Amino acid sequence: MHEMGIALQIIEIAAASIPAEMKPVQVETIRIRVGKMSAVIPENLNFCFEVASKDTDVEGATLCIDEVPVVARCKSCNHQWTLSGPAFRCESCQSGDIELISGQELDIVSIEIAT
């Protein structure tokens, strides 16, 4: 389970992005985008976040996870498709020269603070 490392990373980034003069503050929601390629299981990540955020600046916040599908593009024929599992060949021309154009991201989209 690698979700704990990711949860710690999110907490660190989120906590660092809260200006010192605003602390202590109640963070309500942290919205993130996670590519399906990163193999994050949202339930696990939520659980890890809850455990790891205790006694931090973001304790009590809800983690809102948007999953981003994995999209690949073939460099040979320019075909683009959404992957449902691992794929190393273009489904159109069978070329192995493909690149992933989304699905590997792990971004914090927004941090909502209670007012």
Residues in the site for Zn ion, rule: CB under 5 A? 74, 76-77, 79, 90, 92-93, 95
Q: Residue 19 corresponds to which amino acid?
A: P
Calpha distance 74→92 (Å, rounded)? 9
- Kindly state the smallest distance separating residue 80's Cβ from Zn ion, in Å: 10
- Kindly state the smallest distance separating residue 90's Cβ from Zn ion, in Å: 3
Helices (H), 30-114: 42-52
Nearer to Zn ion among residue 63 and residue 74 (C-beta)? 74
Extract the tokens encoding 108: 């914090």
Nearer to Zn ion among residue 37 and residue 74 (C-beta)? 74
